[in-house]
Amino acid sequence: MDVLKRSGAALTCAALTFAGAAQAHVAADPKQAIAGSYQAVVFRAGHGCNDVHATTAIRVEIPAGMAAARPQPKPGWSLQIERASPGAPVRAVTWTGLLPADQFDEFAILFHLPKEAGTLYFPTIQTCQGAVARWTDIPQAGQTGRLEHPAPSVTVTTPEPAAPSAGHHH
């Protein structure tokens, strides 16, 4: 009987650990932005890896087609901007510092978004003391359902047509 109780407790603990890891992720805000606009996107790390390991780095990969990507520096964190060559578009941004596992933080990048509508995915790697969380899953065309480790994303929409002016008429 004791073995069954311990096995059940271990399974329950494992299930809760897996559920917490599957639900928490690095998220992008806002979820939607206008094509061709300048938009600050905040990547929010809700907690450390597995809720127990302090975050030591956040690396955000920038999708192709971004006209500009300018990261916001953070006090207490170092910042690295990766490019294929000097003057080339930004490929990735990495912040390195220390964020306790029971705290959250936000990491911002100002983008000049593409002129075409669509969904932009930002594969993100959260490095922690003793663990790594890869938020890099991108859905395949036609795929439905939740991803285990979803990459942060922003849906780029076309601008709404301007409403006719209700101006002054004689």
Task: Report the Cα–Cα distance between both ends of the chain, in Å, rounded.
Answer: 90
- State the pLDDT at residue 17: 35
- In what helix (H) or strand (E) does residue 128 lie, and over which residues does it extend? strand 124-128
Average pLDDT over residues 117-124: 97
pLDDT tens by residue, 76-119: 999 999 998 998 999 999 999 999 999 999 999 999 999 999 99
Residue 15 to residue 20: CA distance in whole angstroms: 9
Greater confidence, 144 or 96?
96
Pairing of strands 124-128, 78-83: unpaired
Q: Is the pLDDT of residue 145 over 90?
A: no
Report the Cα 73 to chain-centroid distance in Å: 17
Could you tell me the CA-to-CA distances from 121 to 18, 26, 144 in Å, in that order? 24, 12, 16
Closest by CA position to 57, among listed 28, 27, 43, 78: 78
- State the pLDDT at residue 143: 80
Greater confidence, 111 or 52?
111
Residues in the chain: 170
Closest by CA position to 92, among listed 81, 77, 108: 81
What number of other Cβ atoms are within 10 A of residue 148's Cβ? Answer: 10
Closest by CA position to 116, among listed 73, 66, 62, 42: 66
- Which phi and psi angles does 110 have, rounded to 5°? -90, 125
Residue 130 to residue 57: CA distance in whole angstroms: 12
Could you tell me the CA-to-CA distances from 51 to 55, 94, 126, 138, 156 in Å, in that order? 10, 21, 12, 23, 32
pLDDT > 70 in the chain, percent = 80
